[in-house]
Amino acid sequence: MTRPARRDLANAVRFLAIDAVEAAKSGHPGMPMGMADIAEVLWNDHYRHNPRNPQWPDRDRFVLSNGHGSMLHYALLHLAGYDLPLDEIKRFRQLHSKTAGHPERHITPGIETTTGPLGQGIANAVGMALAERLLAQRFNRDGHTVVDHYTWCFMGDGCLMEGISHEVCSLAGTWGLGKLIAFWDDNGISIDGEVQGWFTDDTAKRFEAYGWQVIKNVDGHDPEEIQQAIATAKAETQRPTLICCRTHIGFGSPNKQGKESSHGAPLGKDEVALTREALKWPHASFEVPADLRDAWNAKARGADLESNWNARFAAYAKAHPELAAEFERRMKGELPADFAEAAREYVAKLQAEGPVVASRKASQMAIETFAPRLPELVGGSADLAHSNLTTWKGQKAVTTTDVDARYVHYGVREFGMTAIGSGLALHGGFIPFDATFLVFSDYARNAVRMSALLPVRSIHVYTHDSIGLGEDGPTHQPVEHLASLRLIPNHDVWRPGDAVESAMSWACALQRVEGPSSLVFSRQNLAHQQRTAEQVADIARGGYVLSDPASAKFEVILVGTGSELELARLAAVKLAEEGIQARVVSMPCFEAFKRQPLEYREGVLPSWCRKRVVVEAGSTEHWRVIAGLDGAVVGIDRFGESAPGDTLMKRFGFTVENVVAAAKALR
């Protein structure tokens, strides 16, 4: 059988995109029309995947960083044979369809990551490429190569304008990620028009400066040039590659090609008809001829690719059974069978020993304990390793070829760091963590949000959690940050009150597969709290009763987190001396507490007790839901000052006397 012409194969993608956008009366047809020729060559000749098993471990990863062009990806998945029938293409952008306005990983089979916020797709791709390399170092052995795949990324001008692209592409060059190949859709057009008025970077020189191989001036509508560029990219093993593709947005549209009018709106009925005529596509809306469908279908080829890998993996498992078992466990996202019990034992040990340390130090102690048990744990800090305390004994940097390389020096790149971490998690085989000061979570926030939306099991470590950090002043002192992070859906925020709660927060975050966790730690030392075994277990519930009056019914509840937990406890002691009985509740993770059964929550915060004081060195509004209309919140709703931490805590009312006064005022 004669293979259809490449232009016809590409046109099948173009018109599925055109027709879907037209039917939805919204969307972005211009990018799919412009990149269809590139996608056709890549997907039909190079992209290794299996539509029957989108989770095959050694598949290539494809990322559409310019996610507004989602119909390009949906058309490719549909034609290749993924579980994305034509009816779903026809339901583009409709409620509960598998073809959302931007690619969403948890909805559509074959989508590797959710994209839309420009620049984060390429950041995820860098993380995926790093994961591939680290897994290859860990598991490949002479005569047995079980990890060997590429990460491909499409990106547009908007991705390259975003600052995150600078952060992550610089790192990709430093790390020498030779199996990362990115295609720049150089069409000179964005939503506002011709980009020459706001995007005049010499992109090629920029990427050369990062240490990338750059292939310039590729005609993005010439299959032979695209083919040669990909071959050149694959031949380079020590550097990532940027392929600069000159394209026409809205390719084939007689009146809208090369214009912003094709970027973010349907072509219109008349222009669609003219485009069909111009590209010699006589077929009805959503119609793709059988010969084109047959040529696009990748099921048989994908099955063969996976079958071949399965045979090689079986031989590998015979030669290296322990490594094979570890690989399978990690790619399934399962923790070692003994981890939960080991974590419980470690937490119990800390409770018995009672160390008085800063929670950032307790966090490092937890990492030191858990990292040797979890070879999948990978992470690092945004140039604050010795402040965040994220290092551990025997760590190996990802810039080495060590089989256990998994520490990342990210440099001052909070946003890129966090999005790369999501890419590591998305690839599989790793549980990533990232770290910076809490105040700089602002730089990373959209990537934190995306980690919850994807969702992925990633751990965001934030230290220097309040005005208590002291002399660095208000630029470095978080105020609203805890509340802001707690607003993100599907995101657990832990602010532990001592070393025991710190260890438990790590254990819970490592075991939480539903989404990310932020662990927020102090600079200053925190007092150890006395607990029973039951209370220790209840830490995982997010909130629990730390203490009750010995011989009388409590009449006020004091709720504390982090460094203010001890403040609440001491205030309860003082109140008791004045004949006022107080319960003390520790609330290290409000989100986990909210998930508990009503009976448990009522047992901790009974509705009959409306006299409540919440104490936290952060903004107050979040805690009104706990304090209630009759309660009080001791917090801070202004920026801090530069002074020693102890001085500032007194200056802003974080004292026993002030908490006692707040409680007495409720009587």
Active site residues: 414
Distance (Å, rounded) from C-alpha 416 to C-alpha 401?
23
Distance (Å, rounded) from C-alpha 189 to C-alpha 259?
7
Q: What type of residue sits at position 417?
A: M
Distance (Å, rounded) from C-alpha 399 to C-alpha 397?
5
Tokens 């001791």 -> residue: 634
Which residues of 144-207 form beta strands (DSSP E)? 151-156, 180-186, 189-190, 193-194
The 8-class DSSP code of residue 111 comes to -
Per the CB < 8 A criterion, the answer to whether 261 and 267 are in contact is: no
Q: Please tell me whether residue 257 adopts helix, strand or coil conformation.
A: coil
Q: What type of residue sits at position 603?
A: G
Task: Please tell me whether the peptide bond between 51 and the residue prior to it is cis, using omega within 30 degrees of 0.
Answer: no
Q: How many H helices and E strands in the chain?
A: 27, 21
Q: Please tell me whether residue 544 adopts helix, strand or coil conformation.
A: strand
The 8-class DSSP code of residue 619 comes to -
Distance (Å, rounded) from C-alpha 423 to C-alpha 410?
14
Distance (Å, rounded) from C-alpha 379 to C-alpha 431?
8
Beta bridge partners of residue 180, listed in sequence order: 151
Which residues of 187-277 form beta strands (DSSP E)? 189-190, 193-194, 213-219, 241-246
Q: Please tell me whether residue 320 adopts helix, strand or coil conformation.
A: coil
Q: State phi, psi for 568 to the nearest 5 degrees.
A: -65, -40
